[in-house]
Amino acid sequence: MLLTTELLDLEFFKYNEKHHLTDFINKKRFRVADTTLTYRQVNVLSKDKLLNDGRKQKEGWRKFSYKELVYLLLVDELKKFGVQHSQLKPLWKFFFEDQYASDMAIGVAMARIEITILFLPNGGVLFCDPINYLLYGSDKDTYIHTTLNKFVSKVSIKRDGMLATPKKTFASLFLQSAISVKEKQVIKLLRDKDFNSVRIKKKDGDISHLHAGRTMGNEKPISAEDLIKVIQKSDFQDVSLVKRNGKIVNLNTEQAFKL
């Protein structure tokens, strides 16, 4: 299963319409020597119906597409972890039955956006962009973790001699989402039980001021001494009060914090 954002789906669709990327991904032009597998291993995969043989009457050199080469590199990696052929069927279905999704996953990896692969104990497999890995993938208990970019880069090196290191990764997304000092101050005020309201003021997209409100007088009447203490507590605050029968019954303060 491929999990990507709608924006990424749209960008891939537009790019593919213009540049015919799926044709490039699926054109057969590689040989067994371009893989990390032996002829025997390739034949066993074919026998177990984990690799298609497009040759007529099985004559001539066997050729593979860019996608098949990426798939074979991934299979070889999973086998090193003891994954059996019987567990690889969902992976084969993703690459060769869900054609558009697997084309898109490879295309996105080519665009240097990290596609995380999670191979689950039941054989299920998830391909996630950074946002969806953060939302859905990172909470899985047990899985084999790798990235599609690793195998796309290996094919690219073999073909073009270039390593395509992903720019947009889960790690970079996590760092971008890290809480700033100002945001920590907001959280601190939100958790302060003395305040019953918090108002945020922003300037040029950044937090500039915080206003924290407090209400007094619900439990007991407020004395003149209480009022003086409140006024002296902060140099920047708004104070309003309500009097009934000569007594202060409600006192509202809003304290200002400049960040």
User: Do 43 and 24 share a structural domain?
Assistant: yes
Report how many domains make up the chain.
2
User: Do 161 and 45 share a structural domain?
Assistant: yes
User: Do 185 and 169 share a structural domain?
Assistant: no
Asked if pLDDT for residue 161 goes beyond 60, the answer is no
More confident residue, 34 or 23: 23
Asked if pLDDT for residue 252 goes beyond 80, the answer is yes
Asked if pLDDT for residue 203 goes beyond 80, the answer is yes
User: Do 186 and 95 share a structural domain?
Assistant: no
Domain residues for the domain of 104 are 2-176
Question: In angstroms, rounded to a whole number, what is the distance separating the alpha carbons of residues 170 and 134?
Answer: 7
Asked if pLDDT for residue 214 goes beyond 80, the answer is yes
User: Do 55 and 167 share a structural domain?
Assistant: yes
User: Do 145 and 51 share a structural domain?
Assistant: yes
Average pLDDT over residues 174-188: 66
Which phi and psi (to 5°) does residue 79 adopt?
-65, -30
Question: In angstroms, rounded to a whole number, what is the distance separating the alpha carbons of residues 97 and 89?
Answer: 11
**Where among 144, 176, 208 does a domain terminate?**
176
Which H, E and C letters describe the chain, residue by residue? CEECCHHHHHHHHHHHHHHCHHHHHHCEEECHHHCCCCHHHHHHHHHCCCCCCCCHHHCCCCCEEHHHHHHHHHHHHHHCCCCCHHHCHHHHHHHHCCHHHHHHHHHHHHCCECCEEEECCCCCEEEECHHHHHHHHCCCCCCEEEEHHHHHHHHHHHHHCCCCCCCECHHHHHHHCCCCHHHHHHHHHHHCCCCCEEEEEEECCEEEEEEEEEEECCCCCECHHHHHHHHHHCCCEEEEEEEECCEEEEEEEEEEEEC
User: Do 195 and 124 share a structural domain?
Assistant: no
* CATH at residue 115: 1.10.1660.10
**Where among 124, 153, 176 does a domain terminate?**
176
User: Do 250 and 152 share a structural domain?
Assistant: no
**Where among 156, 176, 196 does a domain terminate?**
176
More confident residue, 49 or 190: 49
- Could you tell me the CA-to-CA distances from 113 to 107, 136, 216 in Å, in that order? 9, 17, 53
User: Do 118 and 49 share a structural domain?
Assistant: yes
Average pLDDT over residues 11-31: 87
pLDDT at 58: 64
pLDDT band at 165 (very low <50, low <70, confident <90, very high): low
CA 79 to chain centre: 26
User: For the whole prediction, is pTM greater than 0.75?
Assistant: no
Q: What is the mean pLDDT of the chain?
A: 81
pLDDT in tens, 145-158: 899 988 988 887 76
pLDDT at 57: 61
Asked if pLDDT for residue 193 goes beyond 80, the answer is no
User: Do 92 and 37 share a structural domain?
Assistant: yes
pLDDT at 95: 92
User: Do 244 and 154 share a structural domain?
Assistant: no
pLDDT at 94: 92
User: Do 132 and 59 share a structural domain?
Assistant: yes
pLDDT band at 30 (very low <50, low <70, confident <90, very high): confident
